[in-house]
């Protein structure tokens, strides 16, 4: 049985570098550099072992409806989204040793602290992938 497509389907082809994550309707970029974490090993590792996340970069973890910050060294913003790209929850400045979750989410998008606020993304917005060449 084939899986239903989702808003991240273009990344499954392996060209994450060619896409940006946009807040549809606002025209603002949530991230211009996307790091997909779609397999078990990359989802488990997440941002562990890093000292930060560059501005404009998102770690996109899918499928995922909850993240933990155990052993993390820095705070992040997290945007949770459903399969259709609808934002289900935005968590700002999630500190190390905390947990964030959103029932109904398909993906967790981890950003540098403050990035979600700068993009203006809010619950109910739609996220979409846009080819950088078309920006």
Structure confidence at residue 5 (pLDDT): 80
Rounded Cα–Cα distance for residues 80 and 64 (Å) = 9
Question: In 10 A of CB 83, how many CB atoms?
Answer: 18
CA 96 to chain centre: 18
Rounded Cα–Cα distance for residues 123 and 59 (Å) = 19
Rounded Cα–Cα distance for residues 107 and 44 (Å) = 14
Superfamily, domain 24-129: Protein of unknown function DUF192 (2.60.120.1140)
**3 state DSSP class of 9:** helix
What ranges do the domains of the chain cover? 24-129
Taking the alpha carbons at both ends of the chain, their separation in whole angstroms is 35
Structure confidence at residue 1 (pLDDT): 45
In this structure, what token pair is assigned to residue 35? 């790091």
Per-residue confidence of the chain (135 residues) as pLDDT tens digits? 456 689 999 998 777 779 999 999 888 999 999 999 998 888 878 787 789 899 999 999 999 999 999 999 999 999 999 999 999 999 999 999 999 999 999 999 999 999 999 999 999 999 999 998 777
Rounded Cα–Cα distance for residues 49 and 30 (Å) = 23
Structure confidence at residue 43 (pLDDT): 80
């Amino acid at each position: 049985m084939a899986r239903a497509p989702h808003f991240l389907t273009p990344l499954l082809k392996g060209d994450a570098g060619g896409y940006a994550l946009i807040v549809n309707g606002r025209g603002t970029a949530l991230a211009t550099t996307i790091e997909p974490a779609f397999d078990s090993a990359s989802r488990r590792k997440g941002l562990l072992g890093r000292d930060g996340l560059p501005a404009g970069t998102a770690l996109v973890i899918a499928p995922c409806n909850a993240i933990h910050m155990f052993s993390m060294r820095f705070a992040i913003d997290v945007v949770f989204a459903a399969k259709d790209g609808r934002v289900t929850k935005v968590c700002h400045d999630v500190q190390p040793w905390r947990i964030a979750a959103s029932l109904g989410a398909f993906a967790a998008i981890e950003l540098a602290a403050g990035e979600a606020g700068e993009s203006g993304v809010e619950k109910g917005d739609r996220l979409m992938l846009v080819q950088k060449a078309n920006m």
